[in-house]
Amino acid sequence: MSSPASRRPLGRLSLAASLTLVCSAAHADEARHHHKARRHPVPKGDAVNPKDAHPAEATHTSPIQPLPKASPLNAGITAAPEETEHLKVTAAPMNILHETMGLSRMPEDALHTPQTINIVPQLLMQQQNVKSLDEALRNVPGITASVGEGEGGMAGDQFLIRGFQAQNDIYENGLRDFGVYTRDSFDYDHVSVIKGPSSEVFGNGTTGGAINISTKVAHLGDSYGGSFSGGSADYYRGTLDFNKQIGDSTAIRITGMGNENNTVGRDNVYSHRWGIAPSIAFGLGKRTTFTLEYFHQTDNRVPDYGVPVGTKPGTQIAKPLTEYGLNRNNWYGTTYDQDASNVDMLTGRLKFDLNKHITLYDDLRGGMYSRYFSASQPGCDTTCVANYFNNPEAATINRRGHLGGPEPYQQDDWSVQNVFSGVAKFSTGGIRHQIIAGVDIAHIYDRRTNYAYNFNGQNGTRTDTTSLINPSATQPGLLLGTLGQYSGNLVNISGVGHAMYKTGDATDVGAFFSEQMWLLPEFSIRGGFRWDHWDSHYSANGGTTGAGVSYGQQQDTFNPTVSLMYTPTSDLMVYFNWAQSTTPLGLYVTNSSEPLKSSTQGFSPERSSLYELGAKYNAFHGRMGFTASVFRLEKGNALMTDPSTGNVSSSSDRQRNQGVELSVSGEILKNWTMIGTYAYYDATTVWSQTAANVGKRIQYAPKNSATIWSTYTIAPNRPWNVTFGGGLTWRDGVYLNAANTGWVPATMEWDAVVSHNFGKHWRVAMNGYNLDNRLNYSNLFSDRATPAVGRSFLFNLSANY
């Protein structure tokens, strides 16, 4: 293995690609007005594919049910392929209620799924020129981003949903993505966020919810596209999207991306990445369909741990020092800082229609993740803060931050997961049933090799300071050692010493079952559960003292759910949902450096319960979708991590988040689309061993948050057409710790777009971000915050054939 210090940034890469618009449609009996259902006879065994639709309209095939009359009873009940008559249905592409969830365990569309669901559709990502998962999720209220605390120092995508960690709750097509990396969006069809505990569907975790990415895969029909973007901070990006049908039921697709950019408003922060995602599908439109997908992404970026948070003399609440005049561009890393990752995933998905009643699925994924990570975590102690307000030139920051680190490490992971499931639809007398059952088996392995710094050749010295006002990325005398060199400078683990190797692994075997019964055409009840056996291990060895340690634990978890659904018409559903989830210690194998210790073995898992009442409504003949929900989310036995030591304690704390979520999406008038969301959270610690924390607000959970995006097209399909629009992302200020002594102000970002189509195939667009150049914060920590991107502009030229 080459020395970490010898790694170099990647060169500029330029591939080309387009964003393909795929949005689901309403049921045939709902599509009227200027979104009318149009019958197109299709040869037996063939299907109209949604990808073949023009970007201005989303289409999908919808089977006519062999029932005497249309009713809510029919929702999700499909005929066998040989008995299906296909319809081409056109509907408002921005109405998220038409979107399917994209996995067999949740077979309904968003309208008929009894839970709060936020979807970022393809059209929205296209209009905003979304380039990463983080950018896509800015359209979802209640999601905040963090980078990691303590010795782990994890970067990559680290999200919180409703104030609770979701770092292990990111899925692609229903399979967990175990990697720690920053995800590019070049392969995304749409992104769904399922709010609240969902362990019955996804397994352990999902306290705040789950993020499921539906990817672009091969489809019937030919399509070719590409795009190029360029703009502020030397931003260059090219994508491509090529799909080719082979024969009557086979197709191949290749999407790719090359991206290079600096960051507006942050010194020395950049990303160089490229990716490719080919797929091939067999049996499209047939009883048996098999899709094989490969994904690769290489990324070389500089991690950004932000600016310190400090308490101004005479005040009680700490805030980012940029609120008191510190330069927002200041970056406190060194020339050694680097986050270089390589991700490879191979996925096979099989669907088999056994008959008109039973469909079987088998999804298998193997993943390999390689990552070298070295980051400075700036620490500004009380002396540093006092000097900033009294003698700024004397203010000095410690870049080794918490725990004398973080220490650089090479992380090598692999994972495998297989989900076998079946969906059965049948009737007994006048009662219709839908049963979903299956088995989910997964294994994840994580291996870290640790390196250490040395300063001026003095072993055991961790001094690495720089000016708070005028930081320098160059630190004279700072040396990064090779494997085993300066081992005395590694973090000292109690009972182990300075460990060079840390290994974690876990195996999960789960079984799930659910049944939905339509007791009346307008009323159904769904009940289900999932059982998991969780077996995890952790070891640390190769230290300078001690013989190393090895820990392990096994836990069995049981997570039920019950839903009541009232659907008086095909456009309306009122529901109640109760669900539970568990999070055992050691669940975050790849995201946590020390998931198990002698003091934590046997800790009971965190347990969460959701109570939710909501309604979803398709209005104006399917053009607009409205949702509203009230919920209570209770979390017990909360595991607490001390950010200064990394120690985990089973506090038995109880936390509660209750509130309201609203959304509206679709086409207000012809050529005028919008999507808007709002969330209100009353997030409180209701009991704690630390009495002073009782009644305090849960960290990172905003009280209010909202997003809105709207566009209008003038003279569509005319040579002088123009589309213009924009939107707002707003989030209340949040507390950074359980004691509510650290605070980050509200986020408010105004974005805009203007675009023009040249004929049917070419489009040119200009996007503006953070137009008022407001000081916002994107990633949050207990004592730091990362300033968000400043005012920036991005030009885009794309073609689709």
Least confident of 65-69, 192-196, 203-207, 355-359: 65-69
Instruction: Give the distance, in angstroms, between the CA of residue 181 and the centroid of all CA atoms in the same chain.
Output: 11
Q: Residue 257, SS3?
A: strand
Residue 275: which of 55, 22, 10 has the closest Cα? 10
Alpha carbon separation from 163 to 359, 681, 699 (Å, rounded) = 37, 9, 7
Question: Domain residue spans in the chain?
Answer: 4-800
Whole-number CA gyration radius for the chain: 26
CB contact set of 45 (below 8 Å; sequence gap of 6+): 81, 82, 248, 249, 285, 286
- pLDDT for res 602: 57
| Per-residue pLDDT band at 365 (split at 50, 70, 90) | very high
- pLDDT for res 24: 34
| Per-residue pLDDT band at 478 (split at 50, 70, 90) | confident
- pLDDT for res 548: 80
Location of structure tokens 């203010």:
395
Least confident of 147-156, 206-215, 521-530: 147-156
Question: Is the predicted pLDDT of residue 89 greater than 70, yes or no?
Answer: no
Cα gap 110→549, rounded to integer Å = 47
Question: Is the predicted pLDDT of residue 371 greater than 70, yes or no?
Answer: yes
Question: Is the predicted pLDDT of residue 324 greater than 70, yes or no?
Answer: yes
| Per-residue pLDDT band at 695 (split at 50, 70, 90) | very high
Cα gap 31→552, rounded to integer Å = 56
Which amino acid type is present at position 633?
L
- pLDDT for res 158: 85
Q: Quick check: 123 and 93 in contact, CB under 8 A?
A: yes
Least confident of 80-84, 263-267, 510-514: 80-84
Residue 657: which of 605, 625, 617, 705 has the closest Cα? 705
Name the residue with higher pLDDT: 399 or 528: 528
Question: Is the predicted pLDDT of residue 713 greater than 90, yes or no?
Answer: yes
Which pLDDT tens digit goes with each residue over 614-661?
A: 999 999 999 999 999 999 999 987 665 554 444 555 556 789 999 999
Which pLDDT tens digit goes with each residue over 240-255?
A: 999 999 999 999 999 9
Which pLDDT tens digit goes with each residue over 113-144?
A: 999 999 999 999 999 999 999 999 999 999 98
Q: Quick check: 682 and 697 in contact, CB under 8 A?
A: no
CB contact set of 112 (below 8 Å; sequence gap of 6+): 75, 76, 565, 567, 573
What spatial distance separates the first Cα and last Cα of the chain, rounded to whole Å? 45
- pLDDT for res 479: 84
Helices (H), 381-495: 382-390
Which pair of tokens denotes residue 646?
């990394």
| Per-residue pLDDT band at 758 (split at 50, 70, 90) | very high
| Per-residue pLDDT band at 469 (split at 50, 70, 90) | very high
Q: Quick check: 18 and 54 in contact, CB under 8 A?
A: no
Q: Quick check: 600 and 646 in contact, CB under 8 A?
A: no
Residue 72: which of 567, 648, 641 has the closest Cα? 567
| Helices first, then strands: H and E counts in the chain | 4, 45
Q: Of 448-452, 476-480, 636-640, give the range with the top mean pLDDT.
A: 448-452
Please report, rounded to a whole number, the percentage of residues in the chain having pLDDT higher than 90: 64
Q: Residue 42, SS3?
A: coil
Question: Is the predicted pLDDT of residue 791 greater than 90, yes or no?
Answer: yes
Which parts of 209-282 are beta strand (E)? Answer: 209-215, 223-231, 235-246, 250-262, 270-282
Please report, rounded to a whole number, the percentage of residues in the chain having pLDDT higher than 70: 81
Cα gap 320→308, rounded to integer Å = 6
- pLDDT for res 683: 95
Name the residue with higher pLDDT: 679 or 783: 679
| Per-residue pLDDT band at 538 (split at 50, 70, 90) | confident
Neighbour-count burial for 620-644, b at 16+ CB within 10 Å, e otherwise: bbbbbbbbbbebebbbbbbbbbebe
Helices (H), 113-240: 122-128, 133-137, 199-202
| Per-residue pLDDT band at 703 (split at 50, 70, 90) | very high
Instruction: Please work out, in degrees rounded to the nearest 5, the angle formed at the alpha carbon of residue 795 by the alpha carbons of 794 and 797.
Output: 140
Question: Is the predicted pLDDT of residue 613 greater than 80, yes or no?
Answer: yes
- pLDDT for res 495: 64
Question: Is the predicted pLDDT of residue 16 greater than 50, yes or no?
Answer: no
- pLDDT for res 10: 40
758 half-sphere exposure, CB direction, 13 A CA radius: 8
Question: Is the predicted pLDDT of residue 23 greater than 70, yes or no?
Answer: no
Name the residue with higher pLDDT: 593 or 689: 689
How high is the mean pLDDT of the chain? 84
- pLDDT for res 590: 81
Residue 338: which of 284, 411, 395 has the closest Cα? 411
Residue 195: which of 610, 512, 681, 779 has the closest Cα? 610
- pLDDT for res 588: 75
Q: Provide the 10 A C-beta neighbour count for residue 719.
A: 9
- pLDDT for res 604: 74
How much is the average pLDDT of 232-237?
Answer: 96
Which pLDDT tens digit goes with each residue over 156-172?
A: 888 889 988 887 899 99
Fold of 4-800: Maltoporin; Chain A (2.40.170)
Question: Is the predicted pLDDT of residue 601 greater than 80, yes or no?
Answer: no
How much is the average pLDDT of 676-683?
Answer: 97
Cα gap 578→580, rounded to integer Å = 7
- Please provide the DSSP assignment of 722-783 as one string: EEEEEEEEEE--EESSTTS-BEEPPEEEEEEEEEEEETTTEEEEEEEESTT----EEEE-SS
